[in-house]
Amino acid sequence: MNTSTGVLTVNLDALLANWQILRARAPNSIVAAVVKADAYGLDARQVVRALSRQGCRDFFFATVSEALEVADVLSPGCRRYILGGFAVGEERDLLEHKLIPVLSSQAEVRRWQQLLAVTGRRAECALKFDSGMTRMGLAVDELLALGGDASLCQQMGLRLIMSHLACADESSHPQNSEQLTCFNRVSDQLRPHLPDVAFSLANSSGIFLGPDYQADLVRPGAALYGVNPDMCGANPMRSVVRLSVPVRQLRQLQQSSRIGYGAEVQLPAGRVLAVAAGGYADGLHRVLGNEGVGRMAGVEVPVVGRVSMDSTIFDVTSVPNIQAMVRGEVEVPDIQVLDEHLDVSRVAARNQSLGYEVLTSLRAGRYRRVYCGGEQ
């Protein structure tokens, strides 16, 4: 019986294939990569190294500290954008490491202008405006006032103007076209004054809304890591992540028994249960209790009872040769929690969450990590 820790395998070749799929979908746009939150929990250093070797040159991080952590694995000529702008005290890192802050408010714009004026340094920035999500971003009239002054934008080192779609994963949602109309109105008005500035609207799902949404640069994140960019359609992306957890104990019920915390489930005598390593402390959400599935020896096996902090119970009665495993005559295989059949999007649907949440939750996992492909 395998008593090692669970294994999280990241297929960097699949990641690179997904980047190429997205390039084919947006052939007239720069295809960047969003690698915030440690590349959605998959290790930004591994992901950035592989993508930059493949030719990706534009990377988006949430914070300055995230961007600094990958400095030594970037290929020459790469650009690092900071989606969260910059905090007081981070100015030196921005300038010394040539990071590109995404400025989302007039206060940030003023701080950036003051920084360049005081230091006499030349640096680049991006501007984000709110086209309808009502989260972060300059108001449209604020952006138009700034963008209408080409000399000021040149002094600021303006490189990119961007906005963000709120409902792109629902392709028929009317807000998509509303935001596109707003975005096009802004870009049509500013492009004549700012011919060297790129415009960006589409995230992963936005790319699949079509060429009208793709503009000069697209910013895929989740799709790179195998998350389905379309809630209603088949997943065009390759699965990047596999997660297997070892079985700590096999037990065949000798009598009708209640299972796990809360005694919510009762199973009859004869059922075979596998207590597997990995629980909610490892990113396997509690809502998977009585709802989730894994795969053992090619067969889907349901989660029974509540997910515990360190373990999850599966009903493996239907697995071929299970009685020989119970008797100890053959080795007990690991249970696959994520693989090409149970991909991130399918698990997220059972998890009542999003693929983003499933992936980033794995950061907490006490797994052994294996990276394959990507010209390691």
- The SS3 call for residue 20 is helix
- Sort strands 257-259 and 265-267 into parallel, antiparallel or unpaired: antiparallel
**Spatial separation of the C-alpha atoms in residues 307 and 313, rounded to whole Å:** 7
Residue 142: closest CA among 133, 131, 157, 151: 131
**What phi, psi does 274 have (nearest 5°)?**
-115, 120
- The SS3 call for residue 161 is strand
- The SS3 call for residue 350 is helix
Alpha carbon 118 to its chain centroid, in Å, reads 37
Q: Residue 224 contacts by C-beta under 8 Å, 6 or more apart in sequence?
A: 15, 18, 19, 22, 33, 34, 47, 51, 204, 237, 240
Q: Which residues of 294-319 are buried (b: 16+ CB within 10 A; e: fewer)?
A: bbbbeeebbbbbbbbeebbbbbbbeb
- Active-site amino acid positions: 36, 261
Burial class (CB in 10 A: 0-12, 13-18, 19+), 196: exposed
The one-letter amino acid code at 352 reads Q
